[in-house]
Structure 1
């Protein structure tokens, strides 16, 4: 059974604090652990490596927690202990900023990404996502794996692209919705869905899938990852880790995982 959006938000609020309380985050003075970072699921591999690099410089390793940006934003609104938030879109960061949940002056675009159509790695299908392309036929009776399209950034980007290209109506009743982009990726990787829509970085991280086509940048809002400090953060090193992610060294780690540089955001 697919949960309604309101029920999913209620559950996110209900379990937010217990979930993070078990993650071993920093104390109020930040001395007993690294800063707690809530981040978009698509940032998993890149931030894990960045955290290792940061810890290798003698800092306490950040405590990382990953899920859909929507779920993480709701946790912050519910008062979950956190020091930093990395969103896969501007909208969720906007909501937190408007609500006073992030620290003034700490917001910055950290990375960019692209949207792709994926299929199994042993397939040979190639599609060019242009206006009116026959995506429904390419599913061969199967379903299209996407992150939830009303609140999760990857799903909203997918819906925007498919709508702009004129194929949304032909596939909207043939979706395999997932709680985040990594879950959508796994549906294709495990053969549960013949095709899916993910970020380019997720496709590159999973050897069981291949890129079938790349959505044109004009078909969806620019995919930007803003980072900001949570307003209630007291962890001493949280701001320093944020600055590291925006530095040349941090950007090199992100680039190694396929993310575009933050500078691109100024030209979109």
Structure 2
């Protein structure tokens, strides 16, 4: 069955209604001077960097790029349910794999960026703390305090967090004390507002906030590599989505991402 019917049920319904009423169904057309529009569904941790990258791209191209940010899991589910997305930019490979398993055609898929997992605090009482150095992370939490994380059941940052804590032998002690957020930016916000004294987010999130500071990074071998794959999804024929996808892998775009703490996927550490 063509994917048109799955991704655009309201449009199909509109055509059928027009025919039933005896009215010619004429496809809506963009204004002659309207800019092509590209919709990208992206992980919340990409917000600041991708917004800046989009501004740079739009400055040199007559294209309107519209980002939609959510946890990678939420964004993937929205696309699978028919949300009008031209690209999907995930914070882990598993949700990109899942999207392909739902029958969504993924084109020009590639791992673009990589990140680190960071322990953060809202106060400056603890100058530094290296997870895995022998001191339990739970010692940073007083009685009744919780550790802010992306929900380990579906949010990539939370999934990496669980893997890291399991690797360090701290998951069982900390699992009951987690403040689970719907995405990594929500986990960051809990620490920024003082609702949780400590949190685990991506390093890029820690660097993006002036209300938290980074205590330390989790060991690279405590969890799988944090990679960000991107792919085209049923792009329109005008070529705008393909052009933006190609630009995202350019040196110009990588310079933007590097300013926000991202590294190119596969870069040596």
**Same fold at TM > 0.5:** yes
TM-score, scaled to structure 2:
0.84
Task: Find runs of 4+ consecutive structure 1 residues off by over 6 angstroms.
Answer: 27-30
- Partner of residue 53 from structure 2, selected from 44, 50, 54: 50
Counterpart of 2:130 in structure 1 is 128
Q: 2:165 and 2:232 mapped to 1: Cα distance?
A: 33
- Partner of residue 192 from structure 2, selected from 189, 196, 199: 189
Cα deviation digits, residues 16-71 of structure 1 (max 9, x gap): x99xxxxxxxx887955420000000000011001100110032230011000000
TM-score, scaled to structure 1:
0.84
Counterpart of 1:85 in structure 2 is 88
Preserved CA contact (<8 Å) 1:34 1:237: yes
2:75 is aligned with 1:76: no
Aligned length: 241
Root-mean-square deviation (Å): 2.2
Counterpart of 1:137 in structure 2 is 139
2:117 is aligned with 1:115: yes
Preserved CA contact (<8 Å) 1:29 1:236: no
CA displacement at 1:161 relative to structure 2: 0.2
2:163 is aligned with 1:160: yes
Preserved CA contact (<8 Å) 2:121 2:212: yes
Q: 1:83 and 1:233 mapped to 2: Cα distance?
A: 8
Unpaired segments ≥5 residues, structure 2? 1-8, 11-27
Q: 1:29 and 1:73 mapped to 2: Cα distance?
A: 27
SS of the counterpart of 2:64?
coil
Q: 1:94 and 1:249 mapped to 2: Cα distance?
A: 28
Structure 1, 127-136 or 34-43: larger mean CA deviation? 127-136
Unpaired segments ≥5 residues, structure 1? 1-16, 19-26
Cα deviation digits, residues 68-98 of structure 1 (max 9, x gap): 0000000011011110000000000011123
Counterpart of 1:36 in structure 2 is 39
